[in-house]
Amino acid sequence: MSREDIYRHQNFGQSSGIGARCGLVLVDFVNGFVDEDAFGGPHIAAAVERTGPLLDAFRSRELPIAHTRVVFADDGSQRNVFCMKVPSLSKLTETAAVSQIVPSLAPRPGEHVLRKTSASAFFSTGLSHWLRLRGVDTAVVVGCTTSGCIRATVIDAMQHDFRTVVIEDCVGDRAIEPHEANLFDMRQKYADVMPRDAFISLLAKG
Amino acid sequence: MSREDIYRHQNFGQSSGIGARCGLVLVDFVNGFVDEDAFGGPHIAAAVERTGPLLDAFRSRELPIAHTRVVFADDGSQRNVFCMKVPSLSKLTETAAVSQIVPSLAPRPGEHVLRKTSASAFFSTGLSHWLRLRGVDTAVVVGCTTSGCIRATVIDAMQHDFRTVVIEDCVGDRAIEPHEANLFDMRQKYADVMPRDAFISLLAKG
Amino acid sequence: MSREDIYRHQNFGQSSGIGARCGLVLVDFVNGFVDEDAFGGPHIAAAVERTGPLLDAFRSRELPIAHTRVVFADDGSQRNVFCMKVPSLSKLTETAAVSQIVPSLAPRPGEHVLRKTSASAFFSTGLSHWLRLRGVDTAVVVGCTTSGCIRATVIDAMQHDFRTVVIEDCVGDRAIEPHEANLFDMRQKYADVMPRDAFISLLAKG
Amino acid sequence: MSREDIYRHQNFGQSSGIGARCGLVLVDFVNGFVDEDAFGGPHIAAAVERTGPLLDAFRSRELPIAHTRVVFADDGSQRNVFCMKVPSLSKLTETAAVSQIVPSLAPRPGEHVLRKTSASAFFSTGLSHWLRLRGVDTAVVVGCTTSGCIRATVIDAMQHDFRTVVIEDCVGDRAIEPHEANLFDMRQKYADVMPRDAFISLLAKG
């Protein structure tokens, strides 16, 4: 059996759908993840560009929006196991250029900007409570990288019992195989995966 | 550049090593995940078999051991988003045969058996505190599936700042491509990945 | 200045109100907490009795209901720091009579019964997600003891951004001074505190 | 029976002791909590002063030290249920004078300074993992207020399975009755409570 057949045979890959109110989570769209010499990859700049109109759709409907940045303290006091595996992460500090959100997606007042030192946007950040207090039951996830912080954020969104949507052309990675392998896993087990324009149509109907 | 070259260029894939005290986390080694008509795959029975001697190594050293089972309430009261994506998960109830730990790895008194309704063994289970109180700083992860609960558990082990080790021949999956793709991701970002015998040698030296 | 004046001067003690959907959390209403020779106190039996009609009000409206029990593994494998401070807690095991929910408040199918080994009903139990998935934004807390698991649960309910209500005549304690001191603290900082009948009237209007 | 007799009869109030390595958690020792017109009380300045030599004892032994501040975003984007109960909390912003750590206890490089928007220093902050990675198994808690963020932090320290110590003359409150009532509760159920000099003697022996 093919990979797809096995999953279908075992009843995986159903849709969790969209609930009453969507929130947008933009994961790590910072300068350093667009730059291939830092943490970036060839598809991330394209994901940034495609995210612009999606962000506009959330802003025009006044839906909750959260941005994440990876930020470690300058003095090394937050060094953790993630930094042991990927030492260059510790360069992402509060004022470093690599750690600033890309200009085209810059947060506006009232949007939540959260700092994290781990993979998931939900881990030790209070994002879950922030979204819930604002009525969100559906987490729409974009950003980078697909096989890293997106995957970790999507698992956690589902675990916190948000219906979860990954916008497949608004996420990017540093290499193509992990990008595709992780979209497969997330679609089978954790989230609905769809292109931006299909999602915007759903939002407009909703 | 190849996938490997890109990651090396960006300084990924360093070793987080082994700390002062290891704990073993056996994820979802239950009957239903060995059965290909339930949630299983061809490599999981082999992973079960290879795990026996590893479990013995932890028992003979009196190191902390935790087993997980997926268990949903019989009356449907715990249905969650994970069940929306994979409806058959709700068959895994307290007394169902599919949800019992495989006989060859049956827990002994003093070993922690934890019930979960999500992917990660750490999520809403208190596993992190249980391990820490017993002095564990290194989580050794085995079980199934590599692309599902192993991946989720490993991200969380790292996020909880355990040095994390995946025993690559003691984890299994329902299809081979996701198994390999997820071992690649975990090795690059979250955990040291090694064969059982190499780990047992390290443990013996430690 | 009196205690009340100081808090008023500093702008404490405002109302967080009731949101769109209430959920009822019954904390540790088990046999052992009604028994003064186990963990109980003189006011807890009265709190149990007054809770009956409140539970009926939630059931008749089909609002989400969660019950907690303290349950430690028989083999001692879950012993924790809480047990160091209060060793007799470890007698509260799955089948012990002291650890069964009192008959008059016995859970019905579809109500969530969660086991905990700590003070807060939210800590490492997933209660927050369970309530959110069912649309709850307001946690109504009853049970025992006021100065123990109620206080811990109420802090956590507020921290998880639930509007929180303590029903003051449906909580009880083993001594009266801590009961009253903790009602004062919770009212000032974390929750609205009101008698059962006032709450039922609000629910009927809502 | 007196309050003390009841608790003794039920086997409460044992000692959890001190483990292998202590970490110091200084909770909310910021300007606004020393000022009685902001959030302060008459005993907090004295607690600050007595904390100086304790902080020195941790620094001279190179033990982990964490400071907390309550910090809300300037644009109101982090408003939460805690702010509904205590609206003036939202004045505690990144650059506000009231939200700066008092000069005599100013953090040094390598000490962890964490921002929180809730009561417990552990809630959604990652403090637990930060302490564990640095080998801490015993949380020593000082700061303010005893009946607020100290109580919440101490419950959570115990729940995360740290042996927990409250230094009773290094915590303070805005009124005396809640201070004493909460020291009683914490001593009975969650933490060892002792004066500074007794603790420093223990640390010197350890």
- Please give, rounded to a whole number of angstroms, the shortest distance from the CA of D9 to a CA of chain C: 8
Question: What is the rounded CA–CA span in Å between residue C191 and residue C199?
Answer: 13
pLDDT (tens digit, 9 = 90+) per residue, D94-130? Answer: 999 999 999 999 999 999 999 999 999 999 999 999 9
Distance of CA A205 to the CA centre of its chain: 24
Contact B14, A86 (CB under 8 A): yes
Q: Do A188 and B85 touch (CB under 8 A)?
A: yes
* Best C75, C77, C82 residue to mutate vs chain B (most B CBs within 10 Å): C77
Mean pLDDT value of segment A123-129: 98
Would you name the residues of D annotated as active-site residues?
A: 149
A65-70 and A22-27 as β-strands: parallel, antiparallel, unpaired? parallel
Per-residue pLDDT for D21 more than 90? yes
Domains of chain C: 19-69+101-205 (3.40.50.850)
**Facing D161 at nearest CB: one of B133, B137, B160:** B133
Chains with at least 3 CB pairs less than 8 angstroms from chain C: A, B, D
Q: Do D11 and C185 touch (CB under 8 A)?
A: no
- Beta-bridge partners for B165: B140, B192
DSSP E strands: which ranges in B129-173?
138-144, 163-172
* Best A67, A115, A124 residue to mutate vs chain D (most D CBs within 10 Å): A124
Nearest CA to C193 out of C157, C155, C167, C162 is that of: C167
Mean pLDDT over all residues of chain B?
96
3-state secondary structure of D66: strand
Chain D residues contacting B via beta carbons under 8 Å: 128-130, 132-133, 135, 137, 159-161
Per cent of chain C over pLDDT 70 is 100
Mean pLDDT value of segment C53-82: 97
Is the model's pTM score more than 0.95?
yes
Would you name the residues of B annotated as active-site residues?
A: 149
Q: What is the DSSP string of C55-123?
A: HHHHHHTT--EEEEEE-B-TTSTT--HHHHHSGGGGG-BTT-GGGSBPGGG---TTSEEEEESSS-TTT
Question: What is the rounded CA–CA span in Å between residue C33 and residue C30?
Answer: 6
pLDDT (tens digit, 9 = 90+) per residue, B38-90? Answer: 888 878 999 999 999 999 999 999 999 999 999 999 999 999 999 999 999 99
Per-residue pLDDT for B206 more than 90? no
Q: Calculate the alpha carbon distances from D32 to A150, B137, B168, D52, D102 in Å.
A: 39, 38, 53, 18, 9
Mean pLDDT value of segment D55-64: 98
Distance of CA B78 to the CA centre of its chain: 22
Q: Do B158 and A85 touch (CB under 8 A)?
A: yes
Q: State the count of interchain CB pairs (< 8 A) between A and D.
A: 45
Question: What is the rounded CA–CA span in Å between residue A6 and residue A17?
Answer: 23
- For C60, what's the count of Cα atoms within 13 Å in the CB-facing half-sphere? 9
Q: State the count of interchain CB pairs (< 8 A) between A and C.
A: 23
**Facing D112 at nearest CB: one of A78, A111, A123:** A78
Chains with at least 3 CB pairs less than 8 angstroms from chain B: A, C, D
Nearest CA to D58 out of D107, D93, D96, D92 is that of: D107
- For C182, what's the count of Cα atoms within 13 Å in the CB-facing half-sphere? 31
Question: What is the rounded CA–CA span in Å between residue D35 and residue D177?
Answer: 19
**More confidently predicted of A169 and A11:** A169
Chain C residues contacting B via beta carbons under 8 Å: 73, 75-78, 80-81, 109-113, 117-118, 123-126, 129-130, 133
Contact A26, A89 (CB under 8 A): no
pLDDT band (50, 70, 90) for residue C40: confident
Chain C residues contacting A via beta carbons under 8 Å: 128-130, 132-133, 135, 137, 159-161
Question: What is the rounded CA–CA span in Å between residue C179 and residue D181?
Answer: 10
Q: What is the DSSP string of A100-169?
A: SBPGGG---TTSEEEEESSS-TTTTT-HHHHHHHTT--EEEEEEE-IIIIIHHHHHHHHHTT-EEEEEEE
Helix axes C196-205, C44-60, angle to 10 degrees: 10
Q: Do A132 and C132 touch (CB under 8 A)?
A: yes
pLDDT at C126: 98
Contact A81, B162 (CB under 8 A): yes
Question: What is the rounded CA–CA span in Å between residue B163 and residue B16?
Answer: 6
- For B74, what's the count of Cα atoms within 13 Å in the CB-facing half-sphere? 5
Closest residue of chain B to A117, computed from CA coordinates: B159
Distance of CA D143 to the CA centre of its chain: 4
Give the active site residue among C22, C83, C144, C149. Answer: C149
Contact A105, A49 (CB under 8 A): no
Mean pLDDT value of segment A32-37: 88
Q: The tokens of D188 are what?
A: 């009975």
Question: What is the rounded CA–CA span in Å between residue C6 and residue C189?
Answer: 13
ipTM greater than cut 0.85: yes
Distance of CA B111 to the CA centre of its chain: 15
Q: Which residues of A45-58 are buried (b: 16+ CB within 10 A; e: fewer)?
A: bebbebbeebbebb
Contact A152, A191 (CB under 8 A): no
pLDDT at D130: 98
Place of tokens 């101490």: D154
Q: The tokens of A201 are what?
A: 């149509």
Per-residue pLDDT for D206 more than 90? no
Question: Which chain C residues touch A137 with a CB distance below 8 Å?
Answer: 132-133, 135
Contact D147, D181 (CB under 8 A): yes
**More confidently predicted of C175 and C112:** C112
Per-residue pLDDT for B37 more than 90? no
Q: Do B78 and C112 touch (CB under 8 A)?
A: yes
pLDDT at D58: 98
Q: The tokens of A202 are what?
A: 């759903």
Nearest CA to D47 out of D176, D184, D138 is that of: D176
pLDDT (tens digit, 9 = 90+) per residue, B93-116? Answer: 999 999 999 999 999 999 999 999
Q: Do A119 and B185 touch (CB under 8 A)?
A: no
Mean pLDDT value of segment B178-200: 97
Question: What is the rounded CA–CA span in Å between residue A171 and residue A45?
Answer: 10
Question: What is the rounded CA–CA span in Å between residue A52 and residue A65?
Answer: 13
Question: Which chain A residues touch B6 with a CB distance below 8 Å?
Answer: 41, 174-175
Chains with at least 3 CB pairs less than 8 angstroms from chain A: B, C, D
Question: What is the rounded CA–CA span in Å between residue B155 and residue A123?
Answer: 10
Q: Do D7 and C174 touch (CB under 8 A)?
A: yes
